[in-house]
Amino acid sequence: MPFPLPDGLPAGRFAARGPAHLWISDEFPDDLEELWPRLLSEHEATGLLPVLYRADAIGEPLDPGLVDAVRLEDVLAADFAEYRRRRLPFWTDATPEPVPEDVEPWPHDPGPPFEQWPGLAPAMPATPGDPQPREAATEAPARLADTDVDVFDCRLVLVPARRGSDALALLGWRSGAPLPLLCALLRSWEERFGAHLVAVYGGRLHVSVARPPGTAADADLLALEHVLSTADNIVDDPPTPFPEYAAGLVGRDHWSFWWD
């Protein structure tokens, strides 16, 4: 047995990940609402992080050195310059594209309110009333199950990892997401916002958030980071104008992303 398992798990198996191992349940656990909070509370003692993951999406482990090598500010600054160059004609032209009479035209997107890379969103300081990241993640699977039936295709995975960004690197991910950049972003969001990896399935990634931005200015900065993650659901598809997307991040304790 590569590591001792917590009590009360459903049937499952170990899987090798290079020199490391994972434990994967055979089915979506029937008692996940009770099991998930307990596993989160025991993470510090066991070193095993629970994640909901669709097994067929597990790819090759990512070398942690590739995440360490991402200089987030430099990468995002260069990516924003290129993104702005490509999108500026659409932001500055409010004329809707011709569409059939029975089709609602896409709303105009003025784009981010920045001409140059403005820097990362500031960290949200923890206050005595804030939940800990693990506490904020306690009800996330149940909320997902209420809104997306595809989550029931997931399996419970126990990953020997200190935090979600490390778990995501060890799991790998067969999707269109740029995994080194995404892991670096998630690592930074963990530190600044108390983000916690909850589920990865298909091309979707879900994180809970203990300390979301509380002001419009901070949400604008964070929304730009979300855009530069390259996720297909951010702003461009479906077409949500940047100001509307950013405003929706104020106080939001769950972030969702998907890639084609």
How many domains, the chain? 1
According to the model, what pLDDT value does residue 237 have?
66
pLDDT in tens, 137-173: 999 999 999 999 999 999 999 999 999 999 999 998 8
Return the higher-pLDDT residue of 181 and 93: 181
Distance CA 213, CA 215 (A): 6
Q: Which residue has the higher pLDDT, 58 or 86?
A: 86
- CA pair distance 133, 110, nearest whole angstrom: 34
In a domain, 86, yes or no: no
Looking at the domain assignment, is residue 7 inside a domain? no
pLDDT, one tens digit per residue, over 220-238 is: 999 999 999 999 988 776 6
Tell me if 35 is assigned to some domain.
Answer: yes
In a domain, 214, yes or no: yes
Instruction: Classify residue 199: in a domain, yes or no.
Output: yes
Instruction: Give domain status of residue 220, yes or no.
Output: yes
- Banded model confidence at residue 239, pLDDT cuts 50, 70, 90: confident
Average model confidence (pLDDT) for the chain? 92
Which amino acid appears at position 136 of this protein? Answer: A
Give the H or E element holding residue 258: strand 254-258
Which of 104-113, 115-124, 211-220, 241-250 has the weakest average pLDDT?
104-113
Model-level pTM? 0.94
Residue range(s) defining the domain that contains residue 224: 12-69+115-258
Q: Is residue 96 part of a domain?
A: no
Is 98 within the bounds of a domain?
no
- Nearest to 130, CA basis, from 212, 205, 196, 69: 212
Please determine, for residue 258, whether its predicted confidence score (pLDDT) is greater than 80.
yes
pLDDT-based confidence at residue 243 (cuts at 50, 70, 90): very high
